[in-house]
Amino acid sequence: MPLKILIGFLLLSSAFLAADGGTERPFFSGPLLAKSGMNNFKGQWTLNPYLYFTRTYGRTDASWKHRAIPDIHNSIYFFSIQRGLTDYLDLQVLPSYQTNWSQGRRASGWADFTFIFGLQLKAAGHDLSKSNLRITLQEVLPTARYDHLNPQKKGLDGLGGGSYQTRATFIFEKLLFWIPSHPMDLTINVAVNFPAKVSVSGFNSYGGGRGTHGVVRPGTTFVFDGALEISLARKFAVTMELFAFLQNKTTFSGRRGRDEAGNPASSKAPSEIAVTLAPGLECFFTRDLFLIGGVWFSTASRNSTDFATGILSLNYDF
């Protein structure tokens, strides 16, 4: 299925590129996953509701081999609010509501709460030959349920990680005019995520079981996200994104407890690597109101999940 989606995306892009996109300043929304290289300017608001719908259909082992699992479906509804605080600093808050379902079981609730500060290091301004440089500092607050889970839900009611997480992201963005009639925008994110240790009891988001009580130390995560947007016409663009991450192993100390089969429970995980792709299509109604939709799917991974996600986002600046 991911291969068919990718082929369809390439055919659609080729059809658009056959037309002249004009020479006016291009419209770009930013890719599906990567953070923008530009802050909101002072006083500017951005409202950005979006939906993730995910089907997880497998897991991979330490040899990068796929193993099928019963489908797990997940939908997350975000509502991002962003405001420029000064000429160089902005703030984004991200409340979200999540629903998980699989094999007749279902669980819903508010997910962990996220806020992000953005610091503009360099702005291209009106000089299109220059690049944008930005740093963001993201904090995840563990507001969602993560332990004392219902064993009948098979982990579906674990809506958060229970850990305060701090992520620093360095962002590079630059317009490219290799094809004058179809400008491109290159965005690169390099990030590191530091999760704090978390106390767990019973069944929890990391595993666990009856009698589990201890401390989980989630692994540090390193992220690379490279995206290229191509202007097809004045109000249409496509984006292709490569998102990869490495997460160190997650460890556990304390009383392991027992799972439902009576075996010693586990709340730890080996190191994880994943390489994913995210093609998308951008449609502009005006420069300040636009829609972006696309898919995000796994291509290769170790000790991770195989998934396909549909993403739809509406953006309004004022």
pLDDT tens by residue, 77-110: 999 999 999 999 999 999 999 999 999 999 999 9
Tell me the per-residue pLDDT of 112-165, one tens digit each, with 9 for 90 and over: 999 999 999 999 887 877 899 999 999 999 999 999 999 999 999 999 999 999
- Domain range spanning residue 211? 2-317
One-letter amino acid at 4 equals K
Confidence at 202, pLDDT banded by 50, 70, 90: very high
In the block, tokens 């991979």 appear at 60
Confidence at 180, pLDDT banded by 50, 70, 90: confident
H helices present in the chain, as ranges: 2-17
pLDDT, mean over the chain: 92
Taking 70 as the threshold, does the pLDDT of residue 199 lie above it? yes
Whole-model pTM: value is: 0.89
Lowest mean pLDDT: which of 153-157, 232-236, 266-270? 232-236
Lowest mean pLDDT: which of 2-11, 48-57, 73-82? 2-11
How many angstroms separate the CA atoms of 79 and 49, rounded? 4
How many CB atoms lie under 10 A from the CB of residue 233?
17
Confidence at 23, pLDDT banded by 50, 70, 90: very low
Tokens of 152: 């009948």
Q: Write down the pLDDT at residue 11.
A: 47
In the block, tokens 């699992």 appear at 69
CATH, residue 68: 2.40.160.40
Query: Structurally, how many domains does the chain consist of?
Result: 1
Q: Write down the pLDDT at residue 216.
A: 98
Taking 70 as the threshold, does the pLDDT of residue 20 lie above it? no
Tokens of 250: 């997650």
Q: Write down the pLDDT at residue 17.
A: 45
Angle, CA 311 vertex, CA 171 and CA 302 arms, to 5°: 70
Q: Write down the pLDDT at residue 24.
A: 55
Taking 80 as the threshold, does the pLDDT of residue 281 lie above it? yes
Lowest mean pLDDT: which of 10-19, 60-69, 202-211? 10-19
Name the residue with higher pLDDT: 6 or 251: 251
Contacts of 263 by beta carbon, 8 Å cutoff, 6+ apart: none
Q: Write down the pLDDT at residue 79.
A: 97
Q: Which helix (H) or strand (E) holds 240?
A: strand 236-247
Q: Write down the pLDDT at residue 5.
A: 52
